[in-house]
Structure 1
Amino acid sequence: MNIEDLLRETLSDMAHEEQPPPPGRFLPVNGSRSRRRSLALAAAAAVTVLAVGSTLTVQSLSSGTAAPEVLTGQGSGETRAENRITVNEGLRLSNVLTDLSAATGKPLEEFQRAAKDGRALGLPSYAKGALEGFAFPGTYDVSPTSSPEEILAAMVTRFGRAAEDTDLVEGARRLGRTPLEIMTIASIVQAESHDKRDMPKIARVVYNRLNRTPEMRLQLDSTVLYGLNKFGIRASNEDLRSRSPYNTYVRLGLPPGPICNPGADAIEAALNPAAGRWLWFVLTDPKKGVTKFADSESEYLKLVEEHHSRTR
């Protein structure tokens, strides 16, 4: 049962009560049903969420008005929402919060504080309380009365829908991975891809390298730079010597969590990687976003030379 279903069930039950529910109803209590209901209310954070594709409409229930229609941007006589925000795929959480603050005019500190309360946002248990990776990209219509907690809870709700659509939990079990590991792989795929058509092949490279541990590390600049809170395409030699847990040149296996917020295509690629023996990929033509793959070191070195020839 997803968050919207839980919220609908909770509100239906409350509608048949003669007295207002006691304050304890909204707090964690014993019992699976009560726990589900309190989590649903906390995750919803008094937000009405309507989803059509990747579009969410967010409006405070306390406004006392009916939920607005999701706008499609078509037609000349439409009524536009106060604030339409698009969160791009592959942004780090720090950038998402900054962009949301700029778009809504609400203090960045409020978004940062809200992002730390994973339980209130309705994060799944496997996220381990961290919002990175679960602030789902998409287009959001935000009411001026919506709080940072409500906006972020809506993004987590949208992630929950994507997780159901891709059968994330069962897919992770099938691959012998945890859902958090799948989301970490998806974030790497998102960060490393310049064309979504390459995503399943990049995912395959990640799995092939993981399956060759301890002989092979992931060696991904994107994870190194994330751990150092730096941006760019290539990590410096000094960066590669860092002791960060995200330094996949030094440490075996996956980093401890997602390095950005992936979209549905990246999650799907992480769950359904392409078939192949590739162990390397190289962005051979940065201007055109062309990535090529290799399953031998000699072929990989040729691709590196092709990259250098186009970037000199």
Structure 2
Amino acid sequence: MNDLDMDFLLGAEDDDGPPRRRSQGTRTQQRRSRRRRKRQRRKGFVATLFAVVIIVGVLGAGGYFGFTWIRGLVVPKDFTGQGTGQVVIEIKEGATATDVAQQLEDQGVVASARAFVNAIGAAGKGSSLQPGEYTLHKAMSAAAAVALLDPKNRVLNRLTIREGLRLSKIFEELSTATGKPVDDFKQAAKADLGLPSYARKRLEGFAFPATYEINSKMSAEQILTKMVERFSQTAERIKLEEQAHQLGYTPREVMIIASIVQAESGNEQDMPKVARVIYNRLSLNPPMKLQMDSTVMYGLGKYGIAATHAETESNSPYNTYKRLGLPPGPIANPGDHAIGAALHPADGNWLYFVTTDPKRGITKFTDKETEFWKLRDEFNRNNG
């Protein structure tokens, strides 16, 4: 067999059998190949490590912001400390804690409404918020704001209206206390103040004397309405209409009598007796004129405890020296005691009384005209 045939056979054997290992090259080439593979592995590791760092960083940042967001939902924003500056907050009638919270946030007092709601709930004062004005601070903690919204911290002007003042005098005192013109109160008295029907749309006699809390934002009409509301509460409490009818008089007549009792009495103890004198004169047949100096002076727009003869000759409808029966309306604004005396007069036959010593508040009563003139002489001696 020649060489060609041998080559052919060997080739055929290689094709039919498994492939032979290829040459691995020189040792130098092998070392270079190993170094190249190491560099590639290092680059892959660094890239993988860098990717891991980036992923961890993103997840960490997301976790932080996510935690902050969740924490903001659970723990609302809140300032610390007592704050600075002054902010006057008005809590309106019927306002809820949520209403107040939003107002505080809007005016920069607290950082968030939720912080205030949480704070007032924690303090157990959710139902203790009272209408009025309060002085708070900017950027104060919710807990500090709750503490300042205590009723004792309200910005108020307390005004006491004394028993027996005429409406004109009440307007003057309200004007002084509020800085509003007297004309504002005169005009407001014509508005719908919630007067009872028997007042006949006239405020005199129904502006109840008491201590009122007044703030600078209240209108003249709102202030007078509060006084009428106080009267209505008293009238309901003492059952004014029911008891007046039991006496045989209207509620209006009782209030007119109470106003005269208030003006004529030297002290609280004399009021039921003065009321009895008025009822006795009205019930005589024929009735006796009341002849009350206080009604004469009211009709003339004057003040004094004794009318002159000329004053008792006036044509005023309030001149009870010339006219029978009660004057057309109350002559002052009576308090609890005078109204109570008009509803519960003392027992007695008195037809006359004279305050013989005004300085000491001494008033004497009698059922005899001759004794009355003696008491008048005693008054003149004490005031001569």
Give the TM-score band, short-chain normalised.
0.7 to 0.9
CA change 1:59–1:164 in 2 (3 A) is farther
Matches within 5 A, 1:196-211: 196-211=268-283
- Which residue in the other structure is 1:164 paired with? 236
Kept in 2: contact 1:60–1:143 (CA 8 A) = no
Aligned residue in 2 for 1:122: 194
The share of aligned pairs that are identical, in percent, is 56
In 2, are the aligned partners of 1:59 and 1:145 still within 8 Å (CA)? no
Do the aligned partners of 2:208 and 2:228 also contact (CA within 8 Å) in 1? yes
Answer yes or no: is 1:79 the counterpart of 2:142: no
Out of 176, 187, 195, the position equivalent to 1:102 is 176
SS of residue paired to 2:155: coil
Distance 2:319 2:216 in 1: 41
Q: Partner residue of 1:291?
A: 363
- Contact persistence 1:104–1:144 (CA under 8 A): yes
Given the superposition, is the C-alpha separation of residues 62 and 215 from structure 1 closer, same or farther in structure 2, using an over 3 Å criterion? closer
Q: Secondary structure at the match of 2:158?
A: strand
Q: Which residue of 2 aligns with 1:279?
A: 351
In the TM superposition, what is the alpha-carbon distance from 1:62 to its structure 2 partner?
9.9
8 Å Cα contact 1:191/1:260 also seen in 2? yes
Verify the 8 A CA contact 2:93 2:131 in the aligned structure 1.
Answer: no
Partner of 2:130: 67
Aligned to 2:187: 113
Q: What letter corresponds to residue 90 of structure 1 in structure 2?
A: G
Aligned length: 246
Partners of 1:279 and 1:59 in 2: CA distance: 54
State the TM-score, normalizing by the size of structure 1: 0.75
Tell me the residue number matched to 1:89.
163
Measure, in 2, the Cα distance between the counterparts of 1:97 and 1:59: 27
Distance 2:377 2:228 in 1: 42
1:132-143 equivalent positions in 2, closer than 5 A:
132-143=204-215
Matched, 1:151 2:151: no
User: C-alpha separation between the residues in 2 aligned to 1:162 and 1:217?
Assistant: 30
Does structure 2 retain, via aligned residues, the 8 Å contact 1:59–1:143?
no
Q: 1:272-293 deviations in whole A, cap 9, x for unaligned?
A: 0000000000011111010010
Deviant stretches of 4+, over 6 Å = none
Distance apart, 1:143 and its partner CA: 1.8
Q: What is the CA–CA distance in structure 1 between the aligned matches of 2:185 and 2:91, rounded to whole Å?
A: 17
- For the 8 Å contact 2:289–2:321, the answer to whether it is kept is yes
How do residues 156-235 of structure 1 correspond to structure 2 at under 5 angstroms? 156-212=228-284, 214-235=286-307
* Pick aligned residue for 2:318 from 223, 243, 246: 246
Secondary structure of 1:282's aligned partner: strand
Aligned match of 2:375: 303
| Amino acid aligned to 1:92 | R
Q: 1:298 to 1:148 in 2, by over 3 A?
A: same
SS state at 2:353 partner: strand
CA contact (8 A) 2:287 2:324 kept: no
Kindly tell me: are residues 59 and 272 of structure 1, through their superposed partners in 2, closer, same or farther at Cα, counting changes over 3 Å? Answer: farther
For the residues of structure 2 that align with 1:310 and 1:140, how far apart are their CA atoms? 38
Q: What residue ranges of structure 1 are gaps of 5+ in the alignment?
A: 1-57, 70-76
- TM-superposed CA distance for 1:60, in Å, is 5.6
Say if 2:333 is the partner of 1:261.
yes
Instruction: Give the counterpart letter for 1:67 in structure 2.
Output: Q
Rate the CA distance shift 1:99–1:93 in 2: closer, same or farther, 3 A. same
Residues 146/275 of structure 1: CA separation in 2 closer, same or farther (3 Å cut) = same
Question: CA 1:214–1:136 in 2, change beyond 3 Å: closer, same or farther?
Answer: same
Structure 1 residues 243 and 293, CA gap change in structure 2 (3 angstroms): same
Q: C-alpha separation between the residues in 1 aligned to 2:316 and 2:200? A: 19
Which deviations, in whole Å up to 9, do the C-alpha atoms of 1:195-249 show, x marking residues without a partner? 0100000000000011125451000010011111111111122211111110000
> Contact conserved, 1:213 with 1:252, CA < 8 A, in 2?
no
Whose radius of gyration is greater, 1 or 2? 2
Counterpart secondary structure, 1:283:
strand
Distance 1:300 1:251 in 2: 21
Q: Structure 1 residues 89, 287: CA separation in 2 closer, same or farther (over 3 Å shift)?
A: same
- State the alpha-carbon separation in 1 of the partners of residues 285 and 220 from structure 2: 41
CA offset at residue 59 of structure 1?
A: 7.9
Deviations along 1:67-113, one digit per CA (max 9) or x if unpaired, are: 348xxxxxxx9425331111000000011011101110012111110
Higher relative contact order (CA 8 A, sep 6+): 1
RMSD: 2.0
Amino acid at match of 1:176: G
Quick one: distance in 2 between partners of 1:170 and 1:207? 18
Further displaced range: 58-67 or 107-116:
58-67
